Structure 1
Amino acid sequence: MDDYESGLSIHPMDQFIIEPFFGDGPIHWYTVTNSTVWMGLAVLAITALMVLGTRGRAVIPSRVQSVAELAYGFVRKMVEDVAGKDALPYFPYIFTLFLFILFANFLGLIPGSFTSTSHIAVTAVMAGAVFLTVTILGFIKNGAGFLSLFWVSSAPLVLRPILAVIELISYFVRPVSHSIRLAGNVMAGHAVLKVFAGFAGALGVGAVAPIIGVIAIYGLEVLVSAIQAYVFTILTCVYLKDALHPHH
């Protein structure tokens, strides 16, 4: 008896398929897909929070204004604590990354939605942009002195060339790990959630354990969505610190 006949036809990876949002057919560069629609909704949600929610600038803030101010203060303090005060000019870029990942993750938890951050194509673009930005900035700010980031002067002289090669490889692996960490965690959590939901649907009224599992995993996914936005952002701050202060 195959999976379909047994009522356990669960395809957890189907939720990550990119499809045209209007109709069917091949996908071109200009095609509006489920991924682009939900990324657009994330941008609209951010705009509503940061622009519409704070335009009154009340002395006694509303709930929306309070959330916007808390998010602003949280990321600004993170940038200042990790990368230093001279990194604050780059705060708008980092804050934008944080909000986009956070909202894309949370919108992806809505039943029937699409989680754009589950695709390596999306996270790789963000991680690649961070990598190029901090690398170019490092050379602009420090010139050839930026290469001191790869030279471990505190190590014995005989080991320094070997460590330099290791540091160089580690540096170029950064965008790979930076992107895969976010996409992998989001995809894995949603896949497990879909499996438990499939069991709950197949077992019907007797699906007490799968339903409890779905609730628990969903709560965990809410936490993971926030944590992954934080991790991506704080790693960006760490990389920015290396670009601004390669000698430290």
Structure 2
Amino acid sequence: MAAEQAKVDPMHQFTIEPLVGANWEIAGYNIAFTNSAMWMLVTTIVLGLFVAGGLKRQLVPGRWQMAVETFTGFIDNMLEANIGKEGRKYVPYVFSLFMFILFANLLGLLPLGVVGIHPFTFTSHFTVTGVLAVISFAIVLVVGFWKHGFHFFSLFIPHGTPVPMIPIIFLIELVSFAVRPFSLALRLFVAMMAGHVLLKVLSSFVIDGTNAGVGFGLLVGLPSFVLMIGISALEILVAGIQAYVFALLTSLYINDAENLH
């Protein structure tokens, strides 16, 4: 019984393991090709194929082309609503960001374990979401200083702020601005990690309840299994929402750099 329970470790699914080149190093840093890197590559390939299928430009678009155009139009409308006409030039980046996170989240939910393949949700790692957030934040800084120069610092002094309050308000706004990439990365990381941990815990209830006998199987295992189905459906929704929130906040931050609101 204890041996069966020990088989389910909710945190093991987040372990990064080298697949190739476990001993490869550059300047003391290991550069092995890991399961995380493999699923990033898989996500990139799937995204590339998805976009390529929508580039046919048929007069009467098929379902694939319509799907790509729908997502592109969705991002275009979001950027126009939040930034204005200037937002159109950011469509390629925000579209790629949104779709990459969406596909990563959804691929990590596929029940491939039944055929011996274990999906890895790399967006459940803060290092990955942190890099995505830093890239978005870097774009904001580059656009802000490129377009406005040092006047970009006026973003941290709201219009109408009393002169004696300017130093304090400036520091508060600066800290709030600097925390943006951290909060952006943390939101996605926590949402994805929490959902996968919950599913793994429920799966342990199903396994332990089944191994304990028919009575425990019906009392614990069956309700847990039904709940797993419901949570899995919810996780699909969360996967889309988190990708949208990440893209939306990125567009709002870019808007600050473009328009200094």
- For the criterion TM > 0.5, the same-fold answer is yes
Identify the residue that residue 121 of structure 2 maps to in structure 1.
115
Instruction: Please tell me whether the aligned partners of residues 49 and 65 of structure 1 are also in contact (alpha carbons under 8 angstroms).
Output: no
| Partner SS, residue 33 of structure 2 | coil
Residue by residue, what CA displacement relative to the aligned partner does 1:78-131 show, whole Å, maximum 9, x if unpaired? Answer: 111111111211221111111110100000101320001111111111111111
- Bigger CA drift: 9-18 or 184-193? 9-18
- Bigger CA drift: 122-131 or 157-166? 157-166
Identify the residue that residue 254 of structure 2 maps to in structure 1.
240
Identify the residue that residue 165 of structure 2 maps to in structure 1.
159
Identity level (%):
41
| Partner SS, residue 10 of structure 1 | coil
Which amino acid is the alignment partner of residue 49 of structure 2? A
| Partner SS, residue 208 of structure 2 | helix
Identify the residue that residue 95 of structure 1 maps to in structure 2.
95
| Partner SS, residue 17 of structure 2 | coil
Which amino acid is the alignment partner of residue 65 of structure 2? Q
Which amino acid is the alignment partner of residue 233 of structure 1? A
Identify the residue that residue 75 of structure 1 maps to in structure 2.
75
1:220 to 234, 239, 243: 234
Identify the residue that residue 114 of structure 2 maps to in structure 1.
none
The 5 Å alignment of 1:1-248 reads 4-5=2-3, 7=5, 9-22=7-20, 25=22, 28=25, 29-51=30-52, 53-111=53-111, 112-204=118-210, 205-206=217-218, 207-246=221-260, 248=261
CA positional deviation for 1:66: 1.4
- Provide the rounded CA distance (Å) in 1 between the counterparts of 2:207 and 2:77: 45
Instruction: Please tell me whether the aligned partners of residues 153 and 160 of structure 1 are also in contact (alpha carbons under 8 angstroms).
Output: no
CA positional deviation for 1:6: 6.5
Identify the residue that residue 214 of structure 2 maps to in structure 1.
none
Unaligned runs of 5+ in 1: none
* Aligned-pair Cα RMSD in Å: 1.7
CA positional deviation for 1:8: 6.1
- Provide the rounded CA distance (Å) in 1 between the counterparts of 2:193 and 2:2: 24
| Partner SS, residue 7 of structure 1 | helix
Instruction: Please tell me whether the aligned partners of residues 54 and 67 of structure 2 are also in contact (alpha carbons under 8 angstroms).
Output: no
Change (3 A) 1:8 1:214: farther
CA positional deviation for 1:62: 1.8
| Partner SS, residue 19 of structure 2 | coil
- Provide the rounded CA distance (Å) in 1 between the counterparts of 2:156 and 2:259: 12
Unaligned runs of 5+ in 2: 112-117, 211-216
Residue correspondences, number: 243
- Provide the rounded CA distance (Å) in 1 between the counterparts of 2:5 and 2:259: 59
Change (3 A) 1:78 1:185: same
- Provide the rounded CA distance (Å) in 2 between the counterparts of 1:27 and 1:76: 42
Instruction: Please tell me whether the aligned partners of residues 182 and 232 of structure 1 are also in contact (alpha carbons under 8 angstroms).
Output: yes
